[in-house]
Structure 1
């Protein structure tokens, strides 16, 4: 076993990208083979100054050693992102992805070293938060991350939905049209920006996202299978919704169609568009079931159906995790439905955001500043992140022993200030 001092954590160079991708594939249990196309396409998104590798300088038998290289045994990458808090004013985020440790080098503190390097750089850069989608639940809480959103997938039994099977489209002057990938790249970015400005938990999408999700760019090199795309336009011609979906080919013993339409993503900016696109998916000939993909846990979908029981929850799990790097800017960036004052004593094992802060919040804005005033609540920075987007309850966390009331009733005040009427949702994985 290599010693800690024999493993060097540092940013990678351009010539080390193929080895870094191989290590990433190994950690994610994909074939470690790396194609030229994968090197080109995946490498084009890598910011070298924000891409870390753990190099085993004591590795005895690697082919790389004979060519002067050092095996990479762990990977870590971040990129710039914008995250929308409550109120719609985006904050700069350090988006963390491609985190892996090879199975031969677990439990040696490699993730801890890479995380510390990245978060320190993010705070120095002025990022307000860091974000990630956790592959496993127990990992990231110890680095100050808190679960900030939940995602839910429903499976709709079309035959039980109560919808009229004769439906053939909106009757209010709106329309639904099938489009291709090129049209999605033209229409999608503006639609998503309109959604992101109003949806707490939503993150930015760059041009690359649209290229990957319409087949222009492949990270794996696998053949592209084009999905179906449908656009919803209001009666005035305004684009208000887009959906990407696929279908399997499943027929029963009596030659009955039992196909499932699986939604890759569906974004809308009005309830009318959302209702119409779900209705459209449930009206497609041969479709017996619709899998919704990742949605907000309080999505309107089940109640668009005459029989909400036809939409069965098949997956529900944590989704976006947030790590607050600047408490003052994070609390001042969001809006608050009510008015009040709250003093938070924030603990942080890494020392990045620890301190006592006084929040004075109201519908017209908020101010936050360090203070020596007695605290109302004591909580870890990860619990603050869970409360910040409005999804979690301070009363619940107090009952769980994860938030401590220093003043009786402070958790109720915190909920009145921080919780939102609709739950936050992150439509993306990264």
Structure 2
């Protein structure tokens, strides 16, 4: 019988080896990787499955906040580092690890669970639904039409280069401003900043120091920050063909965002800019005189959400219209099922269990897909993933739940 349980400190090297194996990374484990992983997982819930004393599956969750529509953060159970080695697939190990974690999250009072799904078909059976989408563009800089001679920025602000130490000082406060205004964004703890500026190295990989650029407004306030790397590619005719690849870019004003993209497209020798993971309705193509210079190179589901507490989830967000809906939520795993009356107005909402007849019947995974406002109830009904019990209820749900801007999660975790 395979043993599923939290790991001990002595088992951490074996756990890392199993994680690396599951993600097809070299199965070597260095002392530095163990020390850094120990620091990063100090506040997390780290579990594994063990067969004859050997770790064969990994699972980790940690505290997180997720921003709901309207800007209210809700407590979330963030799930990461999920792997099962090839010799032990299809034995129910992930189901056991997931069930124990979600039960504990519900008992703690978490409103939702979150994850980034490596594979689409796995997590729906645990009640998760895709709640945000990410898009990456590749910008053909010569075609974009930006004038490289124009001052960058042109609004009285300035852009300065920075190092990792400065980013760790100014980045957290800037990100807090962004994530509290962006539905779908999640909190970043100090370990995120350490791992993304080279202070922690969790996967035995060599660290390449990126470039960092900071945008400051005319009054000196930090309003934007970007991390990027560049390759070294030249044509046979000795012409530069270099690509700048954005690791992440956060900006809290349109002026800051515009200035940072213009800066990236004005760097000498850079002929392409890969934008990294952006919101699908990001303005970056429209900042360019020729938006066709930005072509979509990746577009896919991103943040997946699992609702654990329907009442608190629906009461946490805001609504663009007034209306009432009775939702029959089907949750085969148990913690979020039931029938709920949503009474919403632009000034607030209440959600209570009810015995009234349902207007819509949907799986808890579909509720997660609707909750952040990115999907349409009418589309789900057309796909057979949601059932109207009252004609017109799906359209009414869209009027309540959909948002003018699309949710976005900037982070991988």
Aligned to 2:41: 46
- Counterpart Cα distance in 1 of 2:145 and 2:82: 45
Shift of 1:47: 4.7
Q: Which runs of 5+ in 2 are unaligned?
A: none
Is the CA contact 1:14–1:48 (under 8 Å) kept in the aligned structure 2?
no
Q: 1:399 aligns with which of 382, 385, 388?
A: 382
Aligned to 1:26: 21
Shift of 1:203: 0.3
Shift of 1:234: 1.0
Alignment of 1:80-119 (within 5 A): 80-119=63-102
Q: 1:10 aligns with which of 1, 5, 26?
A: 5
RMSD: 1.0
What secondary structure, in the 3-state scheme, does the structure 1 residue paired with 2:165 have?
A: helix
Aligned to 1:66: none
Aligned to 2:288: 305
- Counterpart Cα distance in 1 of 2:349 and 2:154: 45
What secondary structure, in the 3-state scheme, does the structure 2 residue paired with 1:342 have?
A: strand
Is the CA contact 2:44–2:63 (under 8 Å) kept in the aligned structure 1?
no
What secondary structure, in the 3-state scheme, does the structure 2 residue paired with 1:44 have?
A: helix
Alignment of 1:15-414 (within 5 A): 15-47=10-42, 50-57=45-52, 70-414=53-397
Task: Compute the TM-score of the two structures, normalised by the length of structure 2.
Answer: 0.98
* Cα deviation code 1:285-326 (max 9, x no counterpart): 100000000000010011111111000000011100000000
* Cα deviation code 1:140-190 (max 9, x no counterpart): 001000000000000000111111122231222111111111111111100
What secondary structure, in the 3-state scheme, does the structure 1 residue paired with 2:40 have?
A: coil
Shift of 1:220: 2.5
- Counterpart Cα distance in 2 of 1:338 and 1:294: 31
User: Where does structure 1 differ by over 4 angstroms across 4 or more consecutive aligned residues?
Assistant: none
- Counterpart Cα distance in 2 of 1:48 and 1:302: 40
- Counterpart Cα distance in 2 of 1:175 and 1:395: 46
Aligned to 1:60: none
Is the CA contact 2:376–2:398 (under 8 Å) kept in the aligned structure 1?
yes
- Counterpart Cα distance in 2 of 1:168 and 1:229: 19
- Counterpart Cα distance in 1 of 2:45 and 2:195: 21
Is the CA contact 1:153–1:293 (under 8 Å) kept in the aligned structure 2?
yes
Aligned to 1:61: none
* Further displaced range: 360-369 or 38-47: 38-47
- Counterpart Cα distance in 2 of 1:211 and 1:72: 27
- Counterpart Cα distance in 1 of 2:378 and 2:26: 46
Is the CA contact 1:13–1:48 (under 8 Å) kept in the aligned structure 2?
no
Is the CA contact 1:168–1:283 (under 8 Å) kept in the aligned structure 2?
no
Task: Compute the TM-score of the two structures, normalised by the length of structure 1.
Answer: 0.95
Is the CA contact 1:356–1:370 (under 8 Å) kept in the aligned structure 2?
yes
Is the CA contact 2:141–2:265 (under 8 Å) kept in the aligned structure 1?
yes
Q: Which runs of 5+ in 1 are unaligned?
A: 1-5, 58-69
* Cα deviation code 1:259-281 (max 9, x no counterpart): 00000000000111111110110
Is the CA contact 1:12–1:48 (under 8 Å) kept in the aligned structure 2?
no
Number of residues of Structure 1 aligned to a counterpart in Structure 2: 413
- Counterpart Cα distance in 2 of 1:146 and 1:223: 34
What secondary structure, in the 3-state scheme, does the structure 2 residue paired with 1:417 have?
A: helix
* Cα deviation code 1:71-122 (max 9, x no counterpart): 1111111000000010111000000001000100111111111100100000
Is the CA contact 1:167–1:283 (under 8 Å) kept in the aligned structure 2?
no
Shift of 1:353: 0.4
- Counterpart Cα distance in 1 of 2:150 and 2:189: 36
- Counterpart Cα distance in 2 of 1:222 and 1:96: 22
Shift of 1:343: 0.6
